[in-house]
Structure 1
Amino acid sequence: MSSSRHPVALRLERALGLREAVSGPAKLLAIVMFLPLIDGIFPALILAGGIDSVAGILQVGLLVFGGSAVLAVILAEMDDAPKEQMKVVLLVAAGLIPLAALEATLAPTIASVIDLAIFERFAALVIVAIAAKTASARIGEYLPSPAVIVGLGFVASVDPSGFEVVVLPDPALVGRAVAAAGVGVAFALVVALASPWLRQNLDIDSFRFGSAVALGVLPLALLGVVFEQAPLAVLIVAGVLAFDPADGIGGPAPDGAAADGGTDEERNGSDRGQAPEREREPWL
C-alpha cells in the first residue's frame, strides 16, 4: 500500500498498477496532476466561471491541480533529492500547461451547445464528489466518478440549437487557464523544494482533511452562496493547522545533548542496561 494513504493517490495507484513500477511515483504524480484535464473537471470549472477572477485562478490551481494528492505523492512516494523531484514536476508541467490551454481554447465551442446555468450545478456537484473522495476512501467507493457526473451534466444541459464553432480562441480565457495550471505547478515545485522540511513538520492527514473542506466550499463559492475567496481562506487555515513541527529535528543540539537528541546521562544510563527512551516514530 502506498505510504501516502491519500485516497485519490491510492485509488489511482491500484487502478494503474503503479506500485511495482520503477518510475511509479513519477507516473503517479503525472496522473494526479493530469486528472482534472482527463476526467473533465477543469473544463467544467472553466465553463462554470471558476477561473474568471484572480481568486478563482488561485483556488483552482491550488485545490484542483495541486492540493493534498500532489503533496502526498511528493512527500510520501518520491524519495529523490529535491532537485530531482523538481525536474519531475517540470517534466509534468511541459505537458500539463499546453493541454490546459487547449481545453480553454475549446471551451467557447462547448459553451455554445449547453445551458450554462444547468451545467454550473453539475460542476459544483463534481467538486463536492471530489471533496468527499479526498476526505474518505470509503465514501469515495459509493460515489460516481467525476467523469460520469460531468457527462451527465453535459447531457442534461445540452442545447444544440446554439451550436457555433469558435475558430478564434479567447486569449484572456486561455491565459487564465494557463495561469491556473501554472499555480498548480508552482505548488508542486514548492512542495518538492521544501520536501525534507515538510516531511518533518507537516501533518499530511490534517492537510488532506483541510483540503477536502476547502474543496467542499469551492462549489458554494461558484454558486455565490459564500464569498469568492472562502475556499482559499479555508485552505490557508488548513495549512496552518497542519503545521506540526517536530521538536528538536533539524535544530542544533542543546548543551550536553548528543546529536541524536539524548543527553550524556541518558546515554550512560542506556549503557548501564537501562532502557533507552523510545525513538520518535518515523513520519512515514
Structure 2
Amino acid sequence: MSTSRHPIALRLEQRVGSATKLLATVMVLPLIDGIFPALVVAGVLTTATGVIETGILIFGGSATAAVILAEMDGSRRQMAGSVLLIGAIVIPLAALEAAFAPTFRGFLNLPVFERFAGLVILTIAAKTASSEIGEYLPSPGVIISLGLVASFEPSGFAIRASPEYVLNGAAAAGVGVAFALSIALLSPHLRGRVDIDRFRFGSAVALGVLALPILLGPFDLMQTEAPIALAVLGVTTLFAYDPNAGPADGPAGDGVGDDGDDPDAGAGDDADGTSDVDGAGDDESDVEQSEPPLDAPTAPGPIVDDDVAVLANGGDPSTASDDGDGTDPFADDDSRAPWL
C-alpha cells in the first residue's frame, strides 16, 4: 500500500496525535471551517444527489480513507466502534448547523455567496491535489468570511427554520459516516490494495467537478442533476484499487516461521533454515562429516613410488632407480613388490 505523505495531513497528524482523534478532526473539520454550512446555504443539499456527494466528498473522501487505512489499527469491530462514536458527534452537529441555513439565506445575497461557496470547494480541491499550490491559497475560513461580507444584506434578517434542511444536513453527515464505516469494515481487504495518493488525487478532481456547477451557475453551465462527481470518484476508485496486490504486511515477528518455531517445518530443518545432511536433527555432526577414528582401517593409498610409476606407465624396469635403502625394488623376495 502506498501511504499518503501529504504535508497538510502530516502536520494535522502531529498536532492531533492518535488515529481516532485524527479521524474525528478530519470528519468534524467541514463543520468548523464553514465548508458544510456554505454548501447548505448555497442549496447543494436540496437534491438527493447533492446529499450523497456532500456526504462522501466532504465528510468522507480521501482524507477519511487515508486515516482509516494507514493510521488506524485494531480489529474491525474496534475501528467500527470508533467510527460510530465519531458519527454520534458529527451527525447532530451537522443537523444543528443546517437548521440555521434558512436564517443565513434570508440576509445573504445568494448569487454572490454561492460563487464564494464554489470557490471554497475549488480551493479545497487544489489543496488536496497539491500541497505546493495549497500553500499559496487562502484558507476556507477566510474565503467564507469574505463571502459573508460581500453578500451581507441586513434588511432580510429574520429567524427561520425548516425541517427539510435539518434532515438533509443529518443525511449528508450520515452518508459520510457510512462511507467511513464501510472503509473500516473492509480495511483488511483494502490495505495494500488501494493506492492512497492516487485516490486522493481523484477525490480532488471530484471536488472540482462538484464546485463547477456552483461557480458557473449564472452562465447556466453544467446545471444537471446527474451525479458527475460521484462518477469521477467511482472511476478514481477503480484506478486506485489493485486486486492483484497482496495485503499489507503485519507487524514484524508475527508471521509463521519467523522465529524457527514453525510447526509445519520439516523434521530435518534447523533453526537457521538449513536442512541437515541426514535429516535427523540439529547436531553439528549432521552438517559436517566427522573425522574417522585413528584406529580405523584405512583404504590403500595411491601409488607414490616414482619407480613403480615408471613401470606402470610402460617404462623400462632397468631404468628404475634404487630407493636408497640398498635393496632392489623389483626383486622377487622384496616384500614391497608382492604383485611381481
Question: Counterparts of 2:33 and 2:102 in 1: how far apart (Å)?
Answer: 18
Tell me the secondary structure at the aligned position of residue 201 of structure 1. coil
Point out which structure has higher relative CO (alpha carbons under 8 A, 6+ apart).
1
| 1:239 correspondence with 2:237 | yes
Deviation at 1:100, TM superposition (A): 0.5
Unaligned 5+ runs, structure 1: 251-257, 261-269, 273-284
Question: Counterparts of 1:271 and 1:217 in 2: how far apart (Å)?
Answer: 59
| 1:172 correspondence with 2:172 | no
Match of 1:39 among 11, 16, 33: 33
Q: 1:218/1:7 Cα in 2 relative to 1: closer, same or farther (>3 Å)?
A: farther
Tell me the secondary structure at the aligned position of residue 108 of structure 2. coil
Q: 1:248/1:203 Cα in 2 relative to 1: closer, same or farther (>3 Å)?
A: closer
Question: Counterparts of 1:131 and 1:150 in 2: how far apart (Å)?
Answer: 15
Question: Counterparts of 1:111 and 1:55 in 2: how far apart (Å)?
Answer: 21
Match of 1:135 among 119, 123, 129: 129
What's the TM-score once normalised by structure 1's chain length? 0.82
Question: Counterparts of 1:81 and 1:27 in 2: how far apart (Å)?
Answer: 17
Question: Counterparts of 1:64 and 1:18 in 2: how far apart (Å)?
Answer: 20
Question: Counterparts of 2:213 and 2:171 in 1: how far apart (Å)?
Answer: 20
Tell me the secondary structure at the aligned position of residue 200 of structure 1. coil
The letter of the residue matching 1:12 is L
| 1:225 correspondence with 2:217 | no
RMSD after superposition: 2.3
Unaligned 5+ runs, structure 2: 249-255, 259-272, 276-340
Match of 1:103 among 83, 97, 108: 97
State the match for 2:313 in structure 1: none
Superposition pairs of residues 79-118 of structure 1, within 5 angstroms: 79-118=73-112
Deviation at 1:5, TM superposition (A): 1.7
Deviation at 1:271, TM superposition (A): 5.9
State the match for 1:58 in structure 2: 52
State the match for 1:280 in structure 2: none
The letter of the residue matching 1:115 is N
Q: Is the Cα contact below 8 Å between 1:9 and 1:28 reproduced in 2?
A: no
Q: Deviations over 1:205-252 (max 9, x none)?
A: 1111100000011111333532341111111111111111244659xx
Match of 2:193 among 191, 197, 201: 201
Q: After TM superposition, what 4+ stretches of structure 1 lie above 6 angstroms from structure 2?
A: none
The structure that has the greater radius of gyration is 2
Q: Is the Cα contact below 8 Å between 1:7 and 1:136 reproduced in 2?
A: no
State the match for 2:308 in structure 1: none
Q: Is the Cα contact below 8 Å between 1:200 and 1:246 reproduced in 2?
A: no
